[in-house]
Structure 1
Amino acid sequence: MWLFLAFVAVPLIEIALFIQVGGLIGLWPTLMIVLLTAILGTALVRREGLRALSDLQNSFSQLQDPTRPLAHGAMILFSGALLLTPGFFTDACGFALLIPAVRDAVMRFISTRIKVQRFEMGGQGPRTQAGPGAHQGPQAERYRPGPREDDVIEGDYTEVPPSKRANHPGSGWTKH
């Protein structure tokens, strides 16, 4: 029911705002504002998205809980969709979601309504827990960075001289 109300209320709010702002400043300035907010929003979404991706990579490399960077990334993605949707209300919501403090507040609000049953990191074998001290245990060796002895794959190779040509006329789709 809430989703239905949002799909009805948001367009009505946008239409009302377009009429009000267009009546105050005119059609072309209103359209320019909408276009400029989309361009500015795209640049900000890219910057914040790269920051969230960096945070996510850091959490994976340090074997920490990736919930926060994943949630921030999802909210930044949603923010981008709002900013590309023409309208003043959606732009205001989109710009608000680009602020890390607002994203943290939204995450706290949503986390009160969601209960995580189980969180695991790693693959097969004994279960490990994320967070400080997660490196101790039988799985710690599995996540050690750098090459190990079992990472080496042996094989044979044969060099093909560059002068060797195909022994068929070709299909015409490739250069021989």
Structure 2
Amino acid sequence: MSRRSRRIPALLVLIFLVVPLAELAVLIQVGRVIGAWWTILLLLADSILGAWLIKREGRRALEALRTRIEQGRLPARELADGALVVLGGALLLSPGFVTDVLGILLVLPLTRPLFRRVAMGYAESRMKRPGMDATWRPPSGPGPDATRPGGPTVVRGEVIDEE
């Protein structure tokens, strides 16, 4: 069994078993301290705050992505921010305090750069495996099919519609 295939079941156990149990334990403890109705009210307020935060930061991330693309520059940082906002939003919309705290940390502009560095470092390490070329190069020439033997013939010209 490869190292990667051992990691996936451990991640699934964490996501589907450990996180819900932690959420339940925290909800019970908070309910004991402040009462059941206050706990429900706190979860509702947390959801409303989270929805507002997702909307605001999602717009900012999308605008930064558009600006970067319009400048003709590679939007790696902006794509990572967008992905973190989406992931944080999903965590904020799930019920519970543990996932809400993690979701808020992923969405807030003050803490997102830390998670972005971790995510981009992980992605870079995955791309630097043997047989992977992580170097980005601008496209050049007519494309890979035009230079390949047996590829399509490229005819340069002008199309005239006689209608």
Q: What is the TM-score when the length of structure 2 is the normalising length?
A: 0.71
Q: 1:13 aligns with which of 12, 17, 22?
A: 22
Cα distance between partner residues in 1 of 2:44 and 2:33? 18
Matched, 1:72 2:81: yes
Q: How many residues align?
A: 132
Bigger fraction of residues in helix: 2
Residues 41 and 123 of structure 1: CA distance in aligned 2, closer, same or farther (over 3 Å): farther
Structure 2 unmatched runs, 5+: 1-9, 128-133, 144-157
Matched, 1:113 2:130: no
Cα distance between partner residues in 2 of 1:107 and 1:82? 16
Residues 17 and 81 of structure 1: CA distance in aligned 2, closer, same or farther (over 3 Å): same
How do residues 146-157 of structure 1 correspond to structure 2 at under 5 angstroms?
A: none
DSSP 3-state at the match of 2:111: helix
Shift of 1:122: 6.5
How do residues 26-41 of structure 1 correspond to structure 2 at under 5 angstroms?
A: 26-41=35-50
Structure 1 unmatched runs, 5+: 127-149, 157-176
Cα distance between partner residues in 1 of 2:31 and 2:52? 26
Shift of 1:108: 1.4
* Equivalent pair of 2:80/2:120 in contact (CA under 8 Å): no
Matched, 1:50 2:59: yes
Kindly provide the CA deviation profile for residues 20-67 of structure 1, in whole angstroms up to 9, marking residues without a partner as x.
Answer: 011111111111111111111001100000000000001100011211
How do residues 129-168 of structure 1 correspond to structure 2 at under 5 angstroms?
A: none
Shift of 1:121: 5.6
Shift of 1:73: 0.6
Cα distance between partner residues in 1 of 2:116 and 2:106? 11
Shift of 1:155: 9.8
Cα distance between partner residues in 2 of 1:44 and 1:155? 55
Cα distance between partner residues in 2 of 1:102 and 1:120? 31
Residues 27 and 124 of structure 1: CA distance in aligned 2, closer, same or farther (over 3 Å): farther
Shift of 1:99: 1.8
Shift of 1:3: 3.0
